Chains A and B, each alone.
Chain A
Amino acid sequence: EAGVAQSPRYKIIEKRQSVAFWCNPISGHATLYWYQQILGQGPKLLIQFQNNGVVDDSQLPKDRFSAERLKGVDSTLKIQPAKLEDSAVYLCASSLDRASYGYTFGSGTRLTVV
């Protein structure tokens, strides 16, 4: 089966600019996650979707980050305006459903804010 697709692979922007990341989960996976991984650290959950509804966004900096999953398939994560500390790899993962423990991760988007 095809994996989790993410684009772009790399992005360099100046602080205060905006950026968007795209994720296409594995077909049929109802649950989608966005994680932020700062260099040298483990991934941190930003937001979790079940179909097109938000299950958990408690660690999403809502003043600058937003995410949506229209139609319960693809998802986009946006940062506006970006700060230097947003430099990280943004990972998307999906699973069959919330009760499924089989997370599959994409390769991520590496964001550099200068």
Chain B
Amino acid sequence: GESVGLHLPTLSVQEGDNSIINCAYSNSASDYFIWYKQESGKGPQFIIDIRSNMDKRQGQRVTVLLNKTVKHLSLQIAATQPGDSAVYFCAEMTRGGSEKLVFGKGTKLTVNP
């Protein structure tokens, strides 16, 4: 069954605020994680990834934090913009075997102007 889930289904923030989207995973063997952004009518778009040998990775306006002790992943978006409004998914992969990505249910982020 699915091993990746999210704490909150929706998140509403004001433009310019920072956003934090959380994700819990249950498969301790997972060693690679990706955050995807999905806008209406489009496929998931890669945002940022992190391997299990890291606990933090930064991109442009986004930061992913990984806490393997409690199996928790978070995506931080700095200075959230209206264009950030979308559904965000975390996905995990366990290397070995088919190496498939397993997705969580998603968090809908709404940015209010």
Contact = CB atoms under 8 A, between A and B. Distances in A.
B46 A103 contact: yes
Given A42-B89, A55-B98, A56-B98, A105 B103 contact: no
Interface string A18-38: 000000000000000101000
A42 B103 contact: yes
B42 interface: yes
Contacts of B104: 42
Contacts of B41: 107
Size bin of chain A's contact surface: 20 to 34
Contacts of A101: 32, 34, 49, 93
A105 B45 contact: yes
A79 interface: no
Interface residues of B, number: 24
Nearest to B45: A105
B93 A108 contact: no
For chain A, what secondary structure do more than half of its interface residues adopt (helix, strand, loop), or is it mixed?
loop
Contacts of A105: 43-45
A11 interface: no
Interface string A41-69: 11111001000000110000000000000
Given A101-B34, A105-B44, A105-B45, A41 B100 contact: no
Interface in A86-114: 91, 93, 98-99, 101-108
Interface string B71-108: 00000000000000000010101000111111111100
B43 A56 contact: no
A106 B45 CA distance: 9
Given A56-B98, A99-B99, A107 B42 contact: yes
Contacts of A107: 41-43
B33 to A, nearest CB: 10
Contacts of A98: 98-99
Instruction: Give the top 6 A-B pairs by smallest Cβ distance, nearest first.
Output: A105-B43, A42-B103, A56-B98, A43-B103, A105-B44, A45-B100
